[in-house]
A and B are shown apart, each in its own frame.
Chain A
């Protein structure tokens, strides 16, 4: 009997367990470790503050999606002993492995910012990257009478880098629909040099911020938060006062990564960006937000990586070279409010450009352009997520590697 152990049963871990269950023969035992009981549809967090989804709409039991032949351990992870190929769990169990797949993702770490946690947390300072934060923010917004809403990114990298911008767009539409947009000032505070940082996206989408009357505060690297005075300060002495701060705090990888001694300063695991093999040891692979690769931290990336990683794990256990190469493909809907959305499709080498998706020249979805169809795509995606994506089924027309056809790649030539 040989053992493959998967750490984490979120998007990446669950889809890998299903991929592997379909391909590995009975000689292999598949073990999945995750202490949580519920699987969250994380793209749904964005909609919870605005009452589009409630908590029950976006959670299901974890075990429902783990393949029957796999063993599920609901324990927290103490550490990985890479030298001896073992995982140590909180209850004292030790899981030996031949191959380890780390899929423990990333989570917010508000404690990393001086003053962010305190009596003001989930009172006047909120996150929407946790279900708890999103639900509490919904309660707050329902009764809020207006003022300065500051949407804030602490530092990069963060999970789903477009979500803060989507939040600002949806907030604009939400307050407008409630007839109180004139009572709300919305600003977008980012450590980058603008809300859009890629030239083509900037050219296509820059107008949205002005149209929606969202003020951008660029190059703001937060040093501390003063909850009593309701202001954030950056390293250069700049200050922004707020009435309601919606922040995306520092994102970090799982704590056991630090205890195992192989993460970077944010507990992300050094990983080969093409093969997804860790740089820690050859029998450790990493998928999804847990890696340090220069791809977006997003469910679509985990999904595309899944097909590549399956191929490479199979090659590894058969003693072959790892020939399947991930190209950094990401595909994300970007909500812009009032029932419209954009779609972006990009990889390591190509920034998002305009065009059609998934069928070149036909669509039906438009890239880098607002449409109702894109919004319907985003809402339909929840069904695809639960029924196809995490269960390891192939999604028609959508390939792991980015399709260059149907894209106006000449836009990037300037």
Chain B
């Protein structure tokens, strides 16, 4: 599905996740964050950057991994992205939703 966010054409899957991280930029992140009811502040960006780095290294993400990143602990991660932190943070970071095999 192609759509326009912050004046840029991007491709999203039906659940609203970016299909290509190369299309991501901070304005798009802010727009998606608003849809998730989150106002991005200084503390959000290092977490998003960490998720993107892990994704580029083809490492599967988990709450634990974020909690051990040295950037935030699990409670802080929840506070920044309430109600499904990994799912929401992944969407805002422009990477796929964490999923199982089916």
Contact = CB atoms under 8 A, between A and B. Distances in A.
A273 to B, nearest CB: 6
Interface string B87-102: 1000000000111111
Nearest to B64: A155
B62 A157 contact: yes
Nearest to B73: A235
Nearest to A237: B78
A266 interface: yes
Interface string B65-81: 10010000011001000
B101 A161 contact: yes
A294 B57 CA distance: 11
Question: In the complex, which of the residues A161, A191, A199, A334 has the most CB atoms of chain B within 10 Å of its own CB atom?
Answer: A191
Interface residues of B, number: 25
The prevalent SS among residues of A at the interface is: loop
A330 B50 CA distance: 29
Contacts of B75: 235
Given A161-B101, A219-B84, A235 B78 contact: yes
**Size category, A interface:** 35 or more
Interface in B32-64: 58-60, 62-64
Contacts of A346: 101
Interface in A198-253: 198-199, 201, 205, 219, 221, 223, 235-236, 250
Nearest to B61: A156
B83 interface: yes
Contacts of B13: 414
B14 interface: yes
Interface of A: 155-157, 161-162, 191-193, 196-199, 201, 205, 219, 221, 223, 235-236, 250, 264-266, 273, 292-294, 296, 330, 332, 334, 344, 346, 351-352, 414
Given A250-B64, A352-B101, 11 more contacts: A161-B101, A192-B100, A197-B98, A197-B102, A201-B102, A219-B84, A235-B78, A264-B65, A265-B64, A292-B59, A294-B58
